[in-house]
Chains A and B, each alone.
Chain A
Amino acid sequence: NAGVMQNPRHLVRRRGQEARLRCSPMKGHSHVYWYRQLPEEGLKFMVYLQKENIIDESGMPKERFSAEFPKEGPSILRIQQVVRGDSAAYFCASSWDRGNEQYFGPGTRLTVT
C-alpha cells in the first residue's frame, strides 16, 4: 500500500515564477492537509481539503497561494509569483476520516532564487 506521494521532491524557482506542488494521498484517503516548515521552525498548518472542497484554509497566506483537490488526480498547492520568503519544505498529509491520524508525505523542498 503506497504511502502519501509528493512531487517534485525538490523545486527551484526564480522570484516571480509559479510553483506547483503535487500530493497524492494514501489509497482510500479523501482528506488532505498541507503544512509548511520554514527553516529552523516547526510545521505550520496551511489548508485542509476534501475531494473538491476546501474545508479550512485559515493557515494560507491571503495572496498568491491556492490549493485544490479535484475529483480526479492529486491535490495541488500553487504559489504564484514566488518570493524568497516562500523557500521552505511543504508537506502533505492525508487521513481516512476527519478525526483519524494523518500520514505524511516526504515533502517538497522549494528554493526560490
Chain B
Amino acid sequence: AQSVSQHNHHVILSEAASLELGCNYSYGGTVNLFWYVQYPGQHLQLLLKYFSGDPLVKGIKGFEAEFIKSKFSFNLRKPSVQWSDTAEYFCAVAAPNNAGNMLTFGGGTRLMVKP
C-alpha cells in the first residue's frame, strides 16, 4: 500500500523568505505526484503535478517541485513567499496502474506567512 509523509506539520515564515516543504512517499512502482493547496475557507486546488518527463515541474503562483526518484521525494519550493500563500498544503500520490487510481494524501502542512 502507498503512504505519504509530510515532515513539517506547521511552518511559519516571514514574507520574502524561501519555502521548502518536504514530501516522501513509499511505493515501489510508477507514481503520479501532486501538490494541492487549501486556502482558508476554500476547497483543494491543484498547485502542480508530475506524471513523467522533466522531474522539475513548475506550478501556479511561482511554486515548483522536484521529483527525486532515488529518494522517493517530491518537495515543494517557492523562492519568495507572500502573505497570500498562507494555506494548508497537501502532497498526494496516485498509482496509475491500480484500478482505483485513488489519491493517497500526506497529513498536510499548515503554512503561515507573517507580513
Contacts and interface: CB of A to CB of B under 8 A. Distances in A.
Interface of A: 4, 31, 33, 35, 41-45, 48, 55-56, 58-59, 91, 93, 95, 98-99, 101-107
Contacts, number: 58
A38 to B, nearest CB: 11
B102 A48 contact: yes
19 contacts: A41-B107, A42-B4, A42-B107, A43-B44, A45-B102, A48-B100, A48-B102, A55-B99, A56-B99, A56-B101, A59-B102, A91-B44, A98-B101, A101-B34, A102-B103, A104-B44, A104-B45, A106-B42, A107-B43
Interface residues of B, number: 23
A93 B92 CA distance: 14
B103 A35 contact: yes
B8 interface: no
Contacts of B32: 99
Contact of A106 (B4, B43, B46): B43
Interface of B: 4, 32, 34, 36, 42-46, 49, 90, 96, 98-108
A42 B100 contact: no
Most buried by A among B34, B36, B106: B36
Nearest to A91: B44
A99 B103 CA distance: 11
A91 B96 CA distance: 21
B42 to A, nearest CB: 7
Contacts of A105: 43
Most buried by A among B90, B99, B100, B106: B100
B42 A43 contact: no
Contacts of A4: 43
